[in-house]
Amino acid sequence: MNYTKLGESGLTISRLVLGCMSYGEPGRGGHGWSLDEDASRPFFRAAVEAGITTFDTANVYSLGSSEVISGRMLREFATRDQVLIATKLAMPMGSGPNDRGLSRGAIMTQVDASLQRLGTDYIDLYQIHRYDPHTPIEETMLALHDVVRAGKVRYIGASSMWAWQFARMQHVAELGGWTPFVSMQDQYNPIMREEEREMHPFCSATGVGVLSYSPLARGRLSRPYGAASERLGLDETGAKLYRQDETSDRAISDAVGSIADERGISRAQVAMAWQFTKPAVSAPIIGATKPNHLSDAVAALDVELTADEVARIEAPYTPRRPEGFV
Active site residues: 61
- Say which residues have a Cβ less than 8 Å from residue 130's Cβ, sequence separation at least 6: 90, 91, 159, 160, 161, 325
**CA dist., res. 17 & res. 217, Å (int):** 16
Q: Is the dihedral of CA 229, 52, 41, 119 positive or negative?
A: negative
**CA dist., res. 183 & res. 129, Å (int):** 12
**CA dist., res. 59 & res. 251, Å (int):** 37
Q: Please give the backbone phi and psi of residue 118, each rounded to the nearest 5 degrees, phi first.
A: -75, -20
Nearest to 193 by CA among 311, 317, 325: 317
Nearest to 216 by CA among 253, 247, 263: 253
DSSP string covering 258-307: HHHHHHTS-HHHHHHHHHTT-TTEEEEEE--SSHHHHHHHHHHTT----H
Q: Helix H segments across 78-194? A: 104-118, 137-149, 163-176
**CA dist., res. 318 & res. 220, Å (int):** 17
Q: Which amino acid is at 213?
A: Y
